[in-house]
Amino acid sequence: MSEAPVLDLASLRRGCAHCSLQQLCLPAGIGAQDLQKLDDIVRRRRPVERGERLFRPGDALNAVYVARDGAFKTVSISEEGEEQVVGFHLPGELIGLDALGAGVHRCEAVALTTANVCEVPFDQLSFVASQLPSLQQQLLRIIGQSVGRDQDHLGILVRRQAGERIALFLHGLAERYRNIGQSATRFKLPMSRDDIAHYLGLALETVSRGFGKLQEDGVIEVVGRQVEIRDPVELNRLAHNAEHEEPRRRGRA
């Protein structure tokens, strides 16, 4: 009885209920049978240690991954060996889509903390999706959201100054923590200043100074990687309105 599929299904459903796959299966109005098709192909992995990689550039696209807890970064390495942080992945966000185009990963996915991940073999996912149009559509949507996040990232990098980028980064991160049911005002950064710098296209010293200034201004409280957002409204203003518009208004008003 303890091996009864009903129990397994129940536990999986509970598991997926607060991991990103909820977006893949639940809103599709999926039946128990169909859900099981999906559940059957999801694999668990032993915890991944900090610094371990899920895949490396050049690896074939075997699976996509979702962290159940912990965090990852995806890094693309230029021909000169310089690292560029392409994205951070919190629990529930899909990892591995970078290989969709060529069938081969462009980036490496590195664990920032010890983490538990679900692994979904891609060919099986693809096969199941072809049988379940609603799942296929969900898959497209998830991918589209990931594209949207990339575009947001672009928006952060283009013609924005350091303070603005940092505010935008913190703002976006808070939003994402809120989405996974964690505090949006108090959290521990899973990544180093260096990682943030490589994500924002800044020098790490600039990131450090930016944090310092935000603290000076009473917007955040930061000790090492522990962050508390004291003034979310002001943070939002800094992120969207640019800091140089208000404080000193010269001719252009």
Partner DNA sequence: CGGAACTTTGAAGTCAATCAAGTGCTGTGG
Partner DNA sequence: CCACAGCACTTGATTGACTTCAAAGTTCCG
What is the Cα–Cα distance from 232 to 170, expressed in whole angstroms? 10
Burial class (CB in 10 A: 0-12, 13-18, 19+), 232: middle
Q: Least distance (Å) from DNA to the CB of residue 227?
A: 10
- 133 forms part of the interface with DNA (CB under 7 A): no
Query: Which of DNA, a copy of itself, none does residue 146 bind (CB under 5 to 8 Å by kind)?
Result: a copy of itself
Task: Point out which residues pair with 43 in neighbouring strands.
Answer: 119
- Whichever of 1 and 223 has its CB closer to DNA, that residue is 223
Question: Site for DNA (CB under 7 A): which residue of 59, 69, 194, 217?
Answer: 194
Sign of CA dihedral 32, 122, 137, 24: positive
In angstroms, the CA 252 to CA 241 distance is 15
Q: Distance of alpha carbon 180 from its chain centroid, rounded?
A: 11
Report in angstroms how near the CB of residue 84 gets to DNA at its nearest: 13
By CB under 8 A, name the one of 143, 184, 204, 222 that touches a copy of itself: 143
Q: Count CB neighbours of 156 within 10 A.
A: 19
Question: Contact positions toward a copy of itself, by CB under 8 A?
Answer: 76, 78-80, 82, 84, 86, 97-103, 106-107, 126-127, 129-130, 133, 136-137, 140-141, 143-148, 150-151, 153-155, 157-159, 198, 201-202, 240-242
